[in-house]
């Protein structure tokens, strides 16, 4: 066959009399391998054979005849019908459904298609010069902002005030997914106020400790930043957008396939907690649900000598431990914090009388130190220091940081940070031709209890050349934005 409508005579002869007088579909439609639509060439061959039987065996059915064209048109319409039937069949299963059908299947499982978070930009401005003794002020990625209406927003990138810089545009993202994050500063309430304007900081966030200390040194009243009258002022002029978007089919399908079809199980608890805003990773430790192979005593005694799991603490009401790794923007403690949100979400999926102990995973902070060899990047001539402080170098470092966050933020609990993965992420940036002297710099102590900082790590935290960062069972890696440790050459 030279094209989709050309047929060999043997194709027509293969369609015998019994086929032309029946549905001719025993090998098509719903089969053991799924739905197999009848192809166009098969449909056309059947119609040609049937026309020869009903009208005349010598009927002119050459490619230019009128009858042949009519048969081709009807065969094409039948092929489209078969294709539609195949699509309808595929839409009955999570593994192959698309669009609205996949959303309906997810709704039957009790998991609606999740929304994305809205994004936008605000401008941070110093109300006055940095106070004496403060050479730079770092606002880490994930620092929380808010509005008079209580909307929760976070910085999507770190911001640093230093060297006379007094105003910085910074990307922000809504903490809560969905249309609720599409906050518009132009919206007014009955009193003429702007309940959706981002104009203040959520001072319960411990990542803002450096800013609050600078407020005190600059003689601002206590809590000034909580009402937008501190050292760092926020200008919000454009609405955040993107909150109406939802998971694409591939991401949503992976979520549905991973979701357990059960209740009152560790898997159902983990699936529920994973959808709580602010949860990065979750692990449910059910010590009474089976053998606890992590116990140090396992394998050290004879069978029936004692139980495999640790002895129960009779003074504790907790039977299950829910280990939660928060995102950069999450505030774990407090009545409106992540722990309270997780406990509320678990209430409907935990067994009656079984209480979970929600525990924050230990965050291991690290930065990347490396020499970046470039080609084709418009860097100015001069010393290495002047080159790295140029706008083009700073923009390159921001793009590299985004790539590193994409790798690190996807790591699971206890999953090591591999130097090879870091190198691959850096090399994927256009203009980067080589990465050398790669060291992961580990912070021996957390910068804070919630998210990444921005402070310089001590020298004794520098791992060996191309050495991986290994983590414990209750630990998760958190990348610290440290552009000064990336040297562009």
DSSP one-letter string for 127-146: SSPPPTT-SEEEE-TT-EEE
Highest mean pLDDT among 172-176, 312-316, 345-349, 445-449: 172-176
Confidence of residue 8 (pLDDT cuts 50, 70, 90): low
> Which residues have CB under 8 Å from 127's CB, separation 6+?
230, 231, 232, 233
Q: What is the pLDDT of residue 36?
A: 82
**pLDDT > 90? residue 147:** yes
Token pair, residue 9, equals: 């005579």
Q: Indicate if the alpha-carbon torsion angle 331, 336, 340, 341 is positive or negative.
A: negative
**pLDDT per residue as tens digits for the range 228-252:** 999 999 999 999 999 999 999 999 9
Arithmetic mean of pLDDT, 457-472:
78
Arithmetic mean of pLDDT, 322-342:
90
Distance between CA atoms of residues 394 and 417, nearest Å: 24
**pTM > 0.85:** no
Confidence of residue 56 (pLDDT cuts 50, 70, 90): confident
**pLDDT > 90? residue 426:** yes
Domains of the chain are 9-90 (no CATH), 119-235 (no CATH), 260-360 (3.30.300), 362-488 (no CATH)
| Strands 232-235 and 432-442, sheet pairing | unpaired
Distance between CA atoms of residues 41 and 44, nearest Å: 5
Arithmetic mean of pLDDT, 161-187:
91
Confidence of residue 146 (pLDDT cuts 50, 70, 90): very high
**pLDDT > 70? residue 451:** no
**pLDDT per residue as tens digits for the range 263-281:** 777 888 888 899 999 999 9
Arithmetic mean of pLDDT, 290-308:
51
Q: Do 146 and 202 form a contact (C-beta atoms < 8 A)?
A: yes
**pLDDT per residue as tens digits for the range 178-229:** 999 999 999 999 999 999 999 999 998 988 999 999 999 999 999 999 999 9
**pLDDT per residue as tens digits for the range 72-109:** 888 889 889 988 888 888 889 998 899 999 999 999 98
Q: What is the pLDDT of residue 282?
A: 92
Q: What is the pLDDT of residue 311?
A: 56
Q: Do 281 and 412 form a contact (C-beta atoms < 8 A)?
A: yes
Please count the helices (runs of H) and the strands (runs of E) in the chain: 12, 17
Arithmetic mean of pLDDT, 435-455:
63
């Amino acid at each position: 066959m030279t094209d989709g409508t050309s047929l060999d005579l043997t194709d027509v002869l293969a369609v015998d009399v019994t086929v032309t007088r029946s549905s001719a579909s025993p090998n098509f439609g719903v089969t053991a391998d799924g739905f197999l639509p009848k192809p166009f060439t098969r449909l056309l061959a059947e119609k040609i054979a049937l026309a020869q039987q009903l009208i005349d065996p010598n009927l002119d059915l050459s490619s230019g005849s009128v009858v042949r064209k009519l048969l081709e048109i009807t065969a094409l319409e039948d092929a489209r019908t078969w294709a539609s039937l195949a699509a309808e069949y595929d839409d009955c299963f999570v593994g192959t459904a698309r669009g609205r059908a996949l959303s309906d299947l997810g709704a039957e499982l009790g998991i609606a298609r999740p929304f994305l978070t809205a994004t936008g930009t605000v401008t941070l401005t110093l109300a006055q010069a940095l106070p004496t003794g403060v050479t730079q002020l770092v606002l880490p990625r994930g620092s929380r902002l808010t509005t008079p209406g209580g909307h929760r927003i976070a910085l999507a990138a770190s911001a640093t005030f230093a060297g006379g810089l007094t105003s910085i545009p910074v990307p922000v993202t809504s903490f809560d997914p969905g249309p609720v994050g599409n906050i518009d500063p132009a919206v007014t309430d009955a009193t003429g106020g702007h309940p959706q304007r981002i104009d203040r900081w959520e001072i319960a966030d411990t990542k803002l400790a450096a800013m609050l200390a600078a407020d005190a040194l600059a003689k601002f009243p206590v809590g000034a930043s909580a009402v937008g009258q501190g050292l760092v002022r926020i200008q919000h002029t454009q609405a955040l957008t993107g909150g109406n978007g939802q998971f694409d089919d591939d991401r949503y399908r992976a979520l549905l396939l991973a979701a357990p079809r059960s209740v009152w199980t560790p898997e159902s608890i983990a699936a529920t907690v994973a959808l709580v805003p602010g949860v990065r990773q979750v692990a449910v430790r059910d010590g009474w649900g089976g053998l606890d192979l992590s116990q140090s005593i396992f394998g050290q005694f004879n069978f029936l000598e004692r139980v495999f799991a640790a002895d129960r603490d009779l003074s504790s009401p907790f039977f299950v431990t829910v280990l939660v790794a928060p995102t950069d923007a999450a505030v774990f403690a407090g009545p409106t914090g992540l722990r309270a949100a997780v406990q509320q979400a678990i209430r409907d999926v935990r067994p009656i009388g079984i209480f979970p102990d929600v525990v924050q995973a230990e965050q291991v902070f690290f930065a990347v130190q490396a020499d970046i060899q470039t080609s084709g990047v418009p860097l100015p001539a001069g010393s290495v220091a002047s080159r790295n402080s140029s706008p083009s170098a700073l923009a390159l470092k921001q793009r590299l940081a985004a790539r590193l966050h994409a790798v690190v933020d996807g790591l699971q609990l206890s999953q090591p940070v591999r130097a090879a993965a870091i190198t691959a992420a850096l090399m994927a940036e256009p203009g980067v031709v080589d990465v050398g002297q790669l060291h992961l710099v580990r912070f021996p102590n957390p910068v804070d209890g919630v998210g990444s900082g921005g402070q310089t790590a001590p020298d004794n935290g520098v791992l060996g050349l191309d050495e991986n960062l290994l983590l414990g069972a209750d630990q998760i890696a958190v990348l610290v934005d440290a552009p000064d440790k990336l040297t562009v050459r």
